Structure 1
Amino acid sequence: MSKIPVYFMPGLAASPLIFERIALPEEDFEMVLLEWELPLENESLANYAKRMATKVTHESPVLVGVSFGGILVQEMARFLEPRKVIIISSVKSNLELPRRMKVAKTTKAYKLIPMNLILNLENLAKFSFGEKINQRLKLYEKFLSVRDIGYLQWAVEKVILWDRTIADEKVIHIHGDADDVFPIKYIKGCTVVQGGTHVMILNKYKWLNKNLPAIIMDSFDFKG
């Protein structure tokens, strides 16, 4: 039996390194890590997704996306015939976005985010207080791969202005109950990971490694 190809898309500006702790049985699965491309000028999310879909070279792939990568793989699925679409720490429609993002859409406040601060983590560390924040900054420094202001502005805008209002019922959604970016109270129809935060791809990898194969192979008990 041939291996099942599983394509992984990282979160906003993140590198494929975020999947370094994910290990699927090699006899059954072939893992392929995707990377962000810089968007073309004024490129729509649909056109970007179409471009990224050309990087998927296997038939009937499984698409796994984290956070904004979860939004992207749902859009890529329009141009592919995936076996499954699995999103982690993400949303299935703009109805699941938190209230602050909906307000930002109305007020266009997202245009005021100082992207250069996000890019310059060393400066951000000087203004942070507490060990927990500094640990998170170290994580970001390791896993942030796209340090391009144009990309960040584009990506943040595409999340907030995402126009999907009806969730695809076939999308499998894995979400942590302690996600502070996309709070669980706004999410419907997901498999909940207890204690999972927005970066649970890193700190709940044991749960994912244990359960992803069964989810892909249709033998996972979603009610369990």
Structure 2
Amino acid sequence: MSKTHIYFMPGLAAGPEIFENLTLSDELYELHYLTWNEPLTLDESLSSYTKRLSEEIKHENPVLVGVSFGGIIVQEMTKFITVKKVIIISSVKSQTEFPTTFQFASKSKIYKLFPTQIVTNFDTYSKYFIGKTLEKKAKMYKKYLSVRGENYLKWSIENVLNWKEQTVLENITHIHGTKDEIFPIKNIKNAIEIENGNHSMIIIKAKQISKIIEDTLTFLNY
């Protein structure tokens, strides 16, 4: 029996480390991890970017799994390659699932004032995270949010907020936490809900997410 190839796309600023707690069968699946590339320019279109990234997929009819902005990316990739299944986690299926804050930011362009230096120079700013809880969060951010190029961050924020997709893919499974603070569950339709899952649940709810992925793909193969 040939293995199913699964390609994983992390969320904005994140590396493949966010998937380290997933427990998927080695006998059934071969896992591949995509990473963020620098945009060619700040004006590179999302279509151009995802087309370039699609060229890194070397297997036919793969499963694509994306988290947050990575979920948007894998949906866009289906415009260039044929896939067996798309699974998004802590993400959105169309512009209509964005919270009103995103819509306001997109129209007002206020996001252009975001100080990306806080992320790009995180090692400098992290010393101001005082207290055990904040120190723990700082360590998590340092480990998992490893993609910090200033042009990449500006490009990503611009393209998340201005994603205009209206059509929902037919072969998509959406996994979403009921406590997601970025994309509130009240705006999300037709998702498999994870109780008390927040936007970072790919790390802390990995066991539940693994089971949902395997159940989804097992059903798909019947």
TM-score in terms of structure 2 length: 0.94
Deviations 1:55-110 (A, max 9, x none): 11111100000000000000001111100000000001111111111100111001
Distance 1:33 1:219 in 2: 22
- Partner of 1:189 in structure 2? 190
Please, which runs of 5 or more residues in structure 1 have no aligned partner? Answer: none
Could you tell me which amino acid in structure 2 is paired with residue 4 of structure 1? T
User: In 2, Cα distance between the equivalents of 1:147 and 1:114?
Assistant: 12
How many pairs does the alignment contain? 220
- Give the Å deviation of 1:216: 1.4
Most deviating of 184-193 and 204-213: 204-213
CA distance in 1, matches of 2:147, 2:194: 28
Q: Is the 8 A contact 2:23 2:207 kept in 1?
A: no
How far did residue 213 of structure 1 move? 1.1
Secondary structure of the corresponding residue to residue 182 of structure 2: coil
Aligned match of 1:175: 176
Following the alignment from structure 2 to structure 1, what is the Cα–Cα distance between the partners of residues 20 and 28?
18
- AA partner of residue 138 (structure 1): K
Equivalent-residue separation in structure 2 for 1:186 and 1:171 (angstroms): 17
Match of 2:35 in 1: 35
SS in 1 for 2:79: helix
Q: Deviations over 1:18-38 (max 9, x none)?
A: 111112111110000111110
Which amino acid counterpart does residue 84 of structure 1 have in structure 2?
A: K
Distance 1:138 1:131 in 2: 11
The corresponding residue for 2:86 is 85
Name the residue aligned to 1:11: 11
* Superposition map of 1:140-219 within 5 A: 140-218=141-219
TM-score (norm 1): 0.93
Matched, 1:112 2:135: no
Q: CA deviation at 1:129?
A: 5.4
Pairwise CA RMSD of aligned residues? Answer: 1.6
What residue is the counterpart of 2:60 in the other structure? 59
**Per-residue deviation, 1:166:** 2.3
Alpha-carbon distance between aligned partners in 1 of 2:125 and 2:101, rounded to the nearest angstrom: 22
- One-letter code aligned to 2:120: L
Which sections of structure 2, spanning at least 5 residues, go unmatched? none
1:171 shift after superposition: 1.4
1:197/1:168 CA distance change after superposition, 3 Å? same
- Does structure 1 conserve the Cα–Cα contact (< 8 Å) formed by 2:129 and 2:138? no
Identity of aligned residues (%): 45
The CA deviation string for residues 138-173 of structure 1, in whole angstroms up to 9 with x for no partner, is 111001222210000000000000010222232110
Q: SS at 1:218's partner residue?
A: helix
CA distance in 1, matches of 2:158, 2:213: 30
TM-aligned CA deviation for residue 126 of structure 1 = 4.4
Instruction: Supply the distance in 2 between the matched residues of 1:211 and 1:104 (Cα, whole angstroms).
Output: 33
Distance 2:189 2:131 in 1: 34
One-letter amino acid of the structure 2 residue matched with residue 94 of structure 1: Q
